[in-house]
Amino acid sequence: MHDIVHGITTGAMARRLGVSPTTVRSWDRRYGIGPAVRADGQHRRWGPEDVAMLEEMCRLTASGVPPAEAARAAREARASVVADGGEVSVGDPPSGLVAGPVVSVAKPSPGRAGRATAGSGLPLGDVRKECRGLARAAVRLDGPALEELLQAALVEHGLVTAWEEIMAPTLHAVGRKWESSGDRYVEVEHLLSWHVSTALRRAAVAGPPSSSPPPAAPPVALACVPSEQHTLPLEALAAGLTERGLPTRMFGAAVPAEALDAAVRRSGPAAVVLWSQARSTANHALARHVAGTAFGVQGARTAPLVLLAGPGWLGRTPAPGTARPAGLREALGVISRLYGEAAGREERAGSTGA
């Protein structure tokens, strides 16, 4: 609150809105939608009224209003607020503007944006404030801003929190909007999905692994069940496993049953993660088959633990040899413990043979 009252920088304003600093500056040059007061040296410092004005600009453009018209309406809104001497709140736009519940600038939440469409037209609900900027950037098809926001989320919050509390809720909101809009927003979903996928793959190789598996450790196999096309949750899991130094084999979307069987027998995985987004794709017989697939040398044959990942598997008790993690964090914990147990067995075997 202190920073907003005394003015924030253009970079901070851009992060708040989910746009690039270049976009904020170009709006100032093209449409005269800059800060009401500039600091010494002509540096832009954005006060509460300015923040409200630019959030209104974002909301109007996201709803289809031409930028020049949106800028004019946003400037008028700022002027009316200043003239009235009232509290600055984007949640109460002046009459004549496109209405929509958004976040009050006067009382920002430290981590949550409250129930809001965030000026993006997407049904975000009660989410972290970072989802607001990500949604706006996606609706505007602003690829550079998406890349910057996703990278910032990963750096600030780490992979698990960034996925569970920022990326996934925004992806779900875009999906719901697409389903209810008659094939609109398809381009938004595709662009956001591509940038999320890119960010996850970069995260997997961005830093040194936090731990190392035993020598020649078996991999974790990740695959979508037949007819299932949603791969992003598996990509998030693959990134998390790679961060932990655990070997993976990603087989991607809609893996045929015969191909999955061959992959399991050839790679000898410690665990197989099967993703199903909807009950129509959840193949429980296939999961049981994979859980019962034994491999290895005679007398020491093993079978993988099968993780039933995704909402499609809900409604049934997991069969023997399978587990159903509640989310990314739990899945990483279950798999990491498998490798910890394997390392312990190898250490005990080594000390016995010494």
Q: Residue 106: its pLDDT value, please?
A: 28
Q: Residue 348: its pLDDT value, please?
A: 42
Q: Are 57 and 93 in contact (CB under 8 A)?
A: no
Query: Strand pairing of 125-128 and 220-224?
Result: unpaired
Give the number of other CB atoms < 10 A from CB of residue 17. 22
Dihedral of CA atoms 185, 190, 195, 197 in degrees, nearest 10, equals: 130
At 64, list the tokens. 């289809």
* DSSP 8-state code for residue 41: G
Strand partners, 220: 248, 271
Any residues with CB less than 8 A from the CB of 113 and at least 6 apart, and which?
Answer: 103, 124, 126, 127, 128, 129, 131, 132
Q: How confident is the prediction along the chain (354 residues), in pLDDT tens digits per residue?
A: 444 455 788 888 887 777 778 888 888 888 888 887 765 555 678 888 888 888 888 877 765 567 888 888 888 877 776 555 544 333 333 322 222 322 222 233 344 444 344 445 555 556 677 888 888 888 888 899 899 999 999 999 999 999 999 999 999 888 777 666 666 778 888 999 999 999 999 887 765 555 555 557 899 999 999 999 999 999 999 999 998 889 999 999 999 999 999 999 999 999 999 999 999 999 999 999 999 998 876 766 789 999 999 999 998 889 999 999 999 999 999 999 998 855 444 444 444 444
* DSSP 8-state code for residue 127: E
- Ranges of H-type helices in 244-300: 257-267, 284-291
At 300, list the tokens. 């020491």
| Entry pTM | 0.65
For residues 210 and 340, what is the distance between their CA atoms, to the nearest angstrom? 13
Q: Residue 344: its pLDDT value, please?
A: 43
Residue 249, CB-side half-sphere exposure with 13 Å CA sphere: 18
For residues 221 and 265, what is the distance between their CA atoms, to the nearest angstrom? 11
For residues 137 and 122, what is the distance between their CA atoms, to the nearest angstrom? 12
Q: Residue 110: its pLDDT value, please?
A: 42
